[in-house]
Chains A and B, each alone.
Chain A
Amino acid sequence: MRVSRAAQQVLAPAALVVAAALFGATVSRSTEIYVINALVSVSIVVALYSFVGNSGVVSFGHISFFAVGAWAAGVFSVPEQEKPAFMPYLFDFLSSTTVGNVPSLVIAAAVGGAFALLVGLPLMRLSGLAAGIATFAVLGITNNILRYYEKIGPGLNTFSSVPETTDLVQATVGALLVIVAAFAYQRSRFGRQLRATREDPAAARAVGVSIYRQRLGAFALSGFLAGFAGGLYVHFLPINADAVYLDLTFITLAMLVIGGATSLWGAVVGALAVSGLDSALANAENGIEVLGGTIEVPAGTRIVVVSALMALVLILRPSGLTGGREFSFERLVHRMRPAAREAVR
């Protein structure tokens, strides 16, 4: 059976996610947590990819959409009687409304998308360094406000008592949904137009593509997906404002760049590879038993290794592990058999 190239582009990342989920179903509970975390990371990184990968514009601001998504889902799903304990200053309509799991995820996505659209309206006129710094400024403002404005969330407190509904199944389904959405977008005429502006802005303009509109659309879509991922995250871990700031921005960008920023396949591979490495190191920080003795890696080794790896990948292979290309079964076979390559020549 021959699978078309388009189908391969979505089936390969989806298969990888399902494989990770199946692995998660067979291991111990403590390892399963790492797998769920990796799957949520896939959602964030693919959301980030749908803008950064297709437009070629680096955004440091996506964690703000993730954060408002997390805030929205968290505030709406904490049970009413628990809210005053750590969110005493909420607006009335927030403290008196509680919604279920799925609606809270929908709200998270909607809030993330709306915020991205609002921010994108002025910001997408910028490009290059100005755009990078402006998205950074958005991240700074969002974090500052979430940290201190206690009418919309817990402020400096940690989101406790959010129902922990993001289990292996939800994380997997969520990651698959985000992958399918990103795939549908990149195959659509809008996605293709945006990719054209990435490859050659002048030529794209010459054939009538509006760079501003295409970027804005992708920005809003990826804000929507990032908000959704934020919703998944707050239902998984008790987070606070510090957890959704520079470190997360760094690690998600690292995942995208290490995997290969210009392909969906690269985003998924990067997210899973870096999460896997990160989990292994986290385990090592707690001590691993090797041949009867315990090796303990000092706490904090994870970020040292991940950031060194990211710098290395950028220096040795700037287009990422996957070369920024989509998965192709034919190319894989081709590479496996040097003889076939010779025959082609």
Chain B
Amino acid sequence: MSGLLASGLTDFVGDALDLQVQVDAIGLGAVFALMAVGIGLVFGVLRLVNFAYGQLVMAGAFALAFASDRDWPVGVGVALCFAVVLALSLAMERAVFRPLRTQSGAVMLIATFAVAFLLQSIALLWFGPLGKTATSLVALNRPVSVGDVEIRKITIVAIITAAVCLALLVLLLNRTSIGLHMRAASMDFSTARLLGVRANMVSGVAVLISGALAAVVAVMLTVQYPTVTPTFALQETIVVLAGVVVGGMTRLLSATLGGFLIGYVSGLLGGALPTAQSQYLPSFLFGLVILVLLVRPDGLFTRHRGLVERV
């Protein structure tokens, strides 16, 4: 029995170290990291966990499918995707986030839960349960061979895009005054306001950037999963949310690392689990999430453990 377990484990480690699995896992991690930044950025400024983030991605994906249905050029489709997602993000900020800014975290989370279901059911009404297909970018799904490894073009695109987006974001946060305002707001919103940071401005910009990242993710996910249904990106959002909390929500960097890590780990599990067990992948993943949360409730990558309780 123990021999069987040991050989199973060796197989697992062997498969997990396989270069092909590694490359795919890193590609998945890159996409998840982008979603984590989108969720973490809004959380930093508004202290709001946006459960409806996946539905923004879904809306963008439907925009792409809409464009590819009409044989519009790829550029127009991507532009439409950005326009739809950004407009929706702003509407969400205006109608839901802003009025709830003073409420507790739980109320805000449940409110975004409601928004998520609202958007999903609107999509269901509009496009039906089977959804639509976005085919204009499918060419990116073809592999190129590097040595023995088949790398799909989208994996390379995803890794480069994620790196560029993150670099741009770091520049924005550290080198511009709106970035400074956002960092100030995420440390202490009310003090930042006292010092002249315009609350609606920073929350609007945070939501816009987060929306732009959702549009990027929509483009990359539709390449890999061209069938767009109302539940598109729902599973991914849940996993990324878990990853963000596992990494640590209080800092953008730790949230991003958490997102990358959970994408990477789920890529590894997907590549290395034996077929008979692969249907239990979510259980393994969520089990790991619970374990990490029990050991480090404030996140894996946070420096301080636990806040001092003030009475």
- 107-131 of chain B: CB within 8 A of chain A: 107, 109-111, 113-115, 117-118, 120-122, 124-125
Complex formed: what's the CA distance from A127 to B49 in Å?
15
B125-A140 in contact (CB<8A): no
B118-A137 in contact (CB<8A): no
Contact residues in A for B311 (Cβ distance below 8 Å)? 202-203, 206
Which residue of A122, A130, A253, A301 contacts B113 across the interface (Cβ within 8 Å)?
Answer: A253
Contact residues in B for A56 (Cβ distance below 8 Å)? 106
> Among B20-28, B192-200, B283-291, which stretch is in contact with chain A?
B283-291
Q: Is A280 among interface residues, defined by CB-CB distance under 8 A?
A: no
CB nearest to A142 among chain B residues: B283
Min CB distance, A150 to chain B, in Å? 11
Q: Which of B100, B282, B309 has the most CB of A within 10 A?
A: B282
Complex formed: what's the CA distance from A301 to B99 in Å?
25
- 161-214 of chain B: CB within 8 A of chain A: none
Min CB distance, A186 to chain B, in Å? 19
Q: Please classify the interface of chain B as helix (H, G, I), strand (E, B), loop, or mixed, using the class held by over half of its residues.
A: helix
B294-A136 in contact (CB<8A): no
Contact residues in A for B290 (Cβ distance below 8 Å)? 122-123, 134, 137-138
Contact residues in B for A206 (Cβ distance below 8 Å)? 311
Complex formed: what's the CA distance from A73 to B298 in Å?
38
Which residue of A57, A126, A300, A315 contacts B297 across the interface (Cβ within 8 Å)?
Answer: A126
> Among A7-15, A20-28, A177-185, A305-313, which stretch is in contact with chain B?
A305-313
- 253-281 of chain B: CB within 8 A of chain A: 279-280
- 306-345 of chain A: CB within 8 A of chain B: 306-308, 310-311, 314-315, 318
Which residue of B113, B125, B245, B280 contacts A250 across the interface (Cβ within 8 Å)?
Answer: B113
Q: Is A90 among interface residues, defined by CB-CB distance under 8 A?
A: no
A304-B121 in contact (CB<8A): yes
Q: Is B103 among interface residues, defined by CB-CB distance under 8 A?
A: yes
Contact residues in B for A58 (Cβ distance below 8 Å)? 106, 109-110
Contact residues in B for A203 (Cβ distance below 8 Å)? 311
CB nearest to A312 among chain B residues: B114
Contact residues in A for B111 (Cβ distance below 8 Å)? 310-311, 314-315
Contact residues in A for B114 (Cβ distance below 8 Å)? 250, 254, 307-308, 310-311, 314
Complex formed: what's the CA distance from A283 to B95 in Å?
30
B294-A129 in contact (CB<8A): no
Q: Is B90 among interface residues, defined by CB-CB distance under 8 A?
A: no
Given A141-B282, A300-B124, A307-B118, CB of A318 within 8 Å of CB of B297? no
Q: Is A163 among interface residues, defined by CB-CB distance under 8 A?
A: no
Min CB distance, A200 to chain B, in Å? 9
Q: Is A132 among interface residues, defined by CB-CB distance under 8 A?
A: yes
Complex formed: what's the CA distance from A125 to B121 in Å?
35
B282-A140 in contact (CB<8A): yes
Contact residues in B for A247 (Cβ distance below 8 Å)? 117
Complex formed: what's the CA distance from A310 to B100 in Å?
13
Count residues on chain A whose CB falls below 8 Å from chain B CBs.
46
Q: Is B249 among interface residues, defined by CB-CB distance under 8 A?
A: yes
Contact residues in B for A299 (Cβ distance below 8 Å)? 125
A140-B110 in contact (CB<8A): no
CB nearest to A302 among chain B residues: B121
A148-B279 in contact (CB<8A): yes
Q: Please classify the interface of chain A as helix (H, G, I), strand (E, B), loop, or mixed, using the class held by over half of its residues.
A: helix
Complex formed: what's the CA distance from A122 to B107 in Å?
25
B293-A144 in contact (CB<8A): no
- 26-68 of chain A: CB within 8 A of chain B: 56-58
Complex formed: what's the CA distance from A137 to B117 in Å?
19
- 122-158 of chain A: CB within 8 A of chain B: 122-123, 125-130, 132-134, 136-138, 140-141, 144-145, 148
Complex formed: what's the CA distance from A167 to B287 in Å?
38
Q: Is A303 among interface residues, defined by CB-CB distance under 8 A?
A: yes
Min CB distance, A205 to chain B, in Å? 9
CB nearest to B122 among chain A residues: A304
CB nearest to A57 among chain B residues: B106
Min CB distance, A340 to chain B, in Å? 33
Q: Which of B110, B238, B298 has the most CB of A within 10 A?
A: B110
Contact residues in A for B249 (Cβ distance below 8 Å)? 129
Which residue of B107, B242, B246 contacts A136 across the interface (Cβ within 8 Å)?
Answer: B242
Contact residues in B for A132 (Cβ distance below 8 Å)? 49, 106, 109
- 265-307 of chain A: CB within 8 A of chain B: 298-304, 306-307
Q: Is B86 among interface residues, defined by CB-CB distance under 8 A?
A: no
Given A129-B249, A311-B96, A318-B103, CB of A137 within 8 Å of CB of B110? no
Contact residues in B for A310 (Cβ distance below 8 Å)? 110-111, 114
- 52-102 of chain A: CB within 8 A of chain B: 56-58
Q: Which of A130, A144, A254, A299 has the most CB of B within 10 A?
A: A130
B124-A253 in contact (CB<8A): no
Q: Is A244 among interface residues, defined by CB-CB distance under 8 A?
A: no
A128-B100 in contact (CB<8A): no
Excluding A303-B124, A314-B111, 18 further A-B contacts by CB distance (< 8 Å) are A123-B294, A129-B245, A133-B293, A134-B289, A134-B290, A137-B290, A140-B283, A141-B283, A144-B280, A144-B282, A145-B283, A246-B234, A250-B114, A253-B113, A300-B124, A300-B125, A303-B121, A311-B114
Q: What 6 pairs between A and B have smallest CB-CB spacing?
A: A303-B121, A137-B286, A307-B118, A310-B114, A307-B117, A311-B114
Q: List 14 A-B contacts (CB under 8 A).
A: A129-B105, A132-B49, A134-B289, A137-B286, A140-B238, A141-B286, A247-B117, A300-B124, A301-B125, A303-B117, A304-B125, A314-B103, A314-B110, A315-B96
